[in-house]
Amino acid sequence: MYDPVIGSYQYIQEQVVAYPFLEENNNMIGLNKSYVAKLKGLHQSCGYEDYIKTYLTYPASGIQPVTPEYTDECSINSLIELAAFHPNPCFNSYEINTQCKSRTTLILSSN
């Protein structure tokens, strides 16, 4: 059986990589520059940037340590998802290019 998750699902696959994902895809997510800068600061101060440089590189620099606990303040993935609903109430983290259909489009498509 294959498991595509590297390390802890919630820590590594959600929190550690959340800011780099945002940075790469904010053109579709639409968060403002000051909020993105705040998240970048958290990415650095919560140790996620160093974790990526140390453990999520090739070749591997060693065995990943036991995943540390993270605080709500360092829950960058949740902060991104909550903020993404402001510019796009239909935001879907699994399909980030999803947009709401306008009321006009819904009316026309139902006729």
* pLDDT tens-digit map of 66-98: 777 778 899 999 999 999 998 889 998 888 888
CA 38 to chain centre: 14
With contact defined as beta carbons under 8 Å apart, do 100 and 89 qualify?
yes
Q: Is 30 left (phi over 0), alpha (psi -120 to 50) or beta?
A: left
Q: Which residue has the higher pLDDT, 26 or 3?
A: 26
107: pLDDT confidence band, cut at 50, 70 and 90?
very low
Comparing 106 with 4, which gets the higher pLDDT? 4
Q: Give 67-71's long-range contacts (Cβ < 8 A, gap of 24+).
A: 67/7, 67/8, 67/11, 67/12, 68/11, 70/11, 70/15, 70/46
- The C-alpha atoms of residue 32 and residue 64 are separated, in whole angstroms, by 34
* Mean pLDDT calculated for residue range 55-61: 83
Distance, CA of 67 to CA of 82 (rounded, Å): 24
pLDDT digits 0-9 by tens, 7-53: 666 788 889 999 999 999 999 999 999 999 999 999 999 999 999 99
Q: What is the pTM of this model?
A: 0.78
Is 37 in contact with 2 (CB distance < 8 Å)? no
